[in-house]
């Protein structure tokens, strides 16, 4: 399903979404007078580096949804962060949709914010090589920056290097990278089939056949095709089937410095033949190649689909929609035609599980890259070491609680050690609390999120926490081996190759001769694929210093 989070019904969750889009930064040690204790990157602790105890002024380019009211001078959380961490944030507001354009203009004019959150894949690497950011290689270490090192593992820093140097702190946001899809099934249909949650592809296949036998009008496995070539094949519709064969469309692989791609793996051929068999037996929606996501949703809500691959945040709403339709059928729906929010209730109609195992116990689940953005310190900032100290300080658990969740007792509370967010504090129309304050939780933070924000999972309603827990605890997650490697041909040709793949794979699933796969492999190699593999191998060797 789509990665768009729909109908959360919780103000804090909207704040989460906003927080992922904002450039952030906060925190600094409030030094006691005269202390010459070392700061990050300043082992000598010289008085010159620690003498100024006035609030440090940070220029900020803040992405903001301009359709919503907001005044940073009235942001209670921002003010609390400034007081706690001895900083003064000077935000420059820019519409979310214009953030990248505005940032590039600032980079070109050398008017760079003190801390810049920037996409790693393209702009960061370019500007780092141009000298726009402070070289942090010798400043980040276990002794001077333990909080940063706790959040960002050494291997991730290694991947984030540009020409062998560290120019920023990797940022993911939320609970970090990971797989975010679940295999979702109708619990009632499964129980009627006398089955338990399947663990293997064979068990799942036999369950689909049983459901079809008992409910001829129900589609055993639903799917849909997203924008061809722009996203992973069928937007993950058949991930669990592919994964049981040890492959996943689109991902590059590496072994002993040699690269390949699952799209041309012989096991992909076997997976496609199995999907072709399922399609021929009526176990896959005959319309999967033409319908859009909203059309699949309509089938799910009306009870016409038994199972599908679902983005973690959609299951709660889908369960409620299914319950609504079942109550309509029985004539028991409330007069106002709606159900109360069910997010804190156990799932009634759905059950979720992770990867299906293949015959040899194999499974893979395609997780995202460990990070997608960087927090970099501008080479123009007046005191880079102090800014790094601010970032380090902001990543203590206490300060992350403030920057992520806001003020304890107002924005959230801890009940028996469990975090409960205040979902009624802010008026959704005015975006202000009863005192007229804005509350920009997750708007001013550095937290990379690679280890997960404090209390993140428990802050979610029951259904969301369960669905996300199933996804991120999938032990079969793998990453794309081409992450953070350079390949000009990949940039120029990958969309074309992905479009060809999507077309050929769809044809094969729907009954085309498997010879089309062999032809596809040869075309993939000759039309740019081999060149991409060669460039990835060269970049891999360069990163390894060979």
Is residue 332's pLDDT more than 80? yes
Is residue 33's pLDDT more than 70? no
Tokens 């992450």 found at: 483
Q: What is the pLDDT of residue 51?
A: 56
Q: How many CB atoms lie within 10 A of CB 489?
A: 17
Q: State pLDDT tens for residues 486-513.
A: 898 998 899 899 989 989 999 999 999 9
Would you place residue 356 in the very low, low, confident or very high pLDDT band (cuts 50, 70, 90)?
very high
Is residue 229's pLDDT more than 50? no
Q: What is the pLDDT of residue 542?
A: 84
Q: What is the pLDDT of residue 226?
A: 61
- Asked whether the CA dihedral 480, 236, 463, 427 is positive or negative, the reply is positive
Would you place residue 227 in the very low, low, confident or very high pLDDT band (cuts 50, 70, 90)?
low
Q: What is the pLDDT of residue 257?
A: 95
Say if CB 49 and CB 387 are below 8 A apart: no
Is residue 39's pLDDT more than 60? no
Specify the length of the chain in residues. 546
User: What average pLDDT score do residues 173-196 get?
Assistant: 92
CA distance 200 to 180: 20
CA distance 450 to 434: 34
Q: What is the pLDDT of residue 52?
A: 64
Say if CB 501 and CB 520 are below 8 A apart: yes
CA distance 514 to 526: 19
Q: How many CB atoms lie within 10 A of CB 195?
A: 16
Is residue 7's pLDDT more than 80? no
Which comes out higher in pLDDT, residue 214 or 110?
214
Say if CB 445 and CB 89 are below 8 A apart: no
Would you place residue 192 in the very low, low, confident or very high pLDDT band (cuts 50, 70, 90)?
very high
Q: What is the pLDDT of residue 176?
A: 76
Percent of the chain with pLDDT over 90: 70
Of the candidate ranges 113-127, 191-205, 269-283, the one whose mean pLDDT is the lowest:
113-127
Tokens 């969740």 found at: 405
Q: State pLDDT tens for residues 44-55.
A: 333 344 456 899
Burial category of 7 from C-beta neighbours within 10 Å (exposed 0-12, middle 13-18, buried 19 and up): middle
Say if CB 263 and CB 524 are below 8 A apart: yes
User: What average pLDDT score do residues 413-421 get?
Assistant: 92
CA distance 504 to 173: 36
Contacts of 318 (CB under 8 A, 6+ apart): 184, 297, 300, 301, 310, 350
User: Is 93 in a helix, a strand, or coil?
Assistant: strand
Mean confidence (pLDDT) of the chain = 87
CA distance 51 to 326: 69
Is residue 363's pLDDT more than 50? yes
Q: State pLDDT tens for residues 431-481.
A: 999 999 999 999 999 989 888 899 988 889 999 999 999 999 999 999 999
Is residue 32's pLDDT more than 70? no
pTM for this prediction: 0.79
Task: Provide the b/e sequence for 336-357 (b: ≥16 CB within 10 Å).
Answer: eeeeeebbebebebbbbbbbbb
CA distance 42 to 541: 33
CA distance 221 to 211: 10
Percent of the chain with pLDDT over 70: 88
């Amino acid at each position: 399903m789509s990665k768009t989070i729909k109908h959360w019904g919780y103000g804090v969750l909207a704040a989460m979404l906003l927080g992922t889009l904002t450039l952030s930064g906060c925190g600094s040690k409030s030094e006691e007078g005269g202390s010459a204790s070392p700061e990050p990157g300043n082992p000598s602790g010289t008085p010159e580096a620690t003498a100024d105890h006035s609030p440090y002024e940070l220029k900020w380019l803040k992405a903001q949804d301009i359709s919503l009211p907001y005044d940073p001078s009235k942001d209670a959380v921002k003010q609390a962060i400034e007081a706690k961490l001895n900083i003064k944030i000077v935000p420059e507001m820019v519409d979310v949709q214009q953030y990248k354009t505005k940032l590039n203009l600032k980079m070109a004019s050398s008017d760079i914010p003190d801390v810049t959150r920037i996409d790693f894949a393209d702009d960061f690497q370019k500007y780092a090589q141009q000298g726009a950011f402070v070289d942090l290689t010798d400043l980040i270490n276990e002794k001077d920056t333990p909080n940063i090192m706790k959040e960002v593992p050494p291997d991730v820093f290694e991947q984030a290097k540009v020409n062998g140097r560290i120019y920023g702190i990797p940022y993911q946001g939320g609970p970090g990278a990971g797989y975010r899809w679940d295999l979702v099934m109708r619990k009632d249909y499964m129980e009627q089939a006398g089955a338990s949650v399947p663990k293997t592809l064979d068990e799942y296949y036999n369950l689909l056949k049983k459901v079809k036998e008992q409910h001829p009008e129900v589609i055993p496995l639903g799917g849909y095709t997203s924008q061809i070539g722009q996203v992973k094949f069928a937007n993950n519709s058949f991930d669990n089937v592919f994964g049981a064969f040890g492959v996943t469309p689109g991902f590059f692989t590496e072994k002993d410095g040699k690269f390949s791609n699952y799209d041309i793996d012989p096991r992909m051929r076997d997976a496609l033949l199995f999907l072709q068999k399922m399609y021929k037996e009526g176990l896959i929606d005959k319309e999967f190649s033409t319908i859009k996501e909203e059309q699949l949703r309509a089938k799910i809500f009306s009870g016409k689909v038994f199972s599908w691959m679902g983005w973690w945040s959609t299951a709660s709403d889908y369960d409620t929609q299914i319950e609504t339709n079942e109550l309509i059928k029985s004539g028991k729906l409330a007069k106002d035609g709606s159900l109360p929010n069910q997010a804190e209730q156990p799932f009634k109609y759905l059950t979720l599980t992770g990867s299906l195992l293949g015959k040899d116990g194999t499974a893979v689940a395609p997780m995202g890259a460990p990070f997608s953005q960087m927090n970099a310190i501008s080479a123009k900032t007046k005191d880079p070491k102090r800014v790094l100290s601010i970032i380090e300080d902001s990543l203590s658990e206490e300060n992350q609680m403030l920057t992520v969740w806001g003020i304890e007792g107002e924005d959230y509370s801890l009940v028996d050690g469990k975090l409960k967010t205040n979902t009624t504090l802010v008026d959704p129309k005015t975006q202000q609390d009863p005192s007229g304050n804005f509350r920009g939780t997750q708007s001013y933070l550095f937290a990379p999120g690679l280890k997960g924000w404090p209390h993140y999972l428990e802050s979610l309603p029951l259904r969301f926490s369960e669905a996300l827990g199933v996804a991120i605890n999938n032990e079969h997650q793998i990453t794309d081996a081409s992450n953070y490697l350079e390949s000009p041909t990949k940039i120029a040709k990958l969309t074309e190759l992905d479009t060809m793949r999507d077309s050929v794979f769809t044809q094969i699933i729907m009954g085309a001769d498997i010879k089309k796969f062999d032809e596809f492999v040869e075309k993939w190699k000759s039309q740019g694929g081999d060149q991409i593999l060669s460039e990835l191998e060269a970049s891999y060797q360069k990163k390894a210093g060979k």
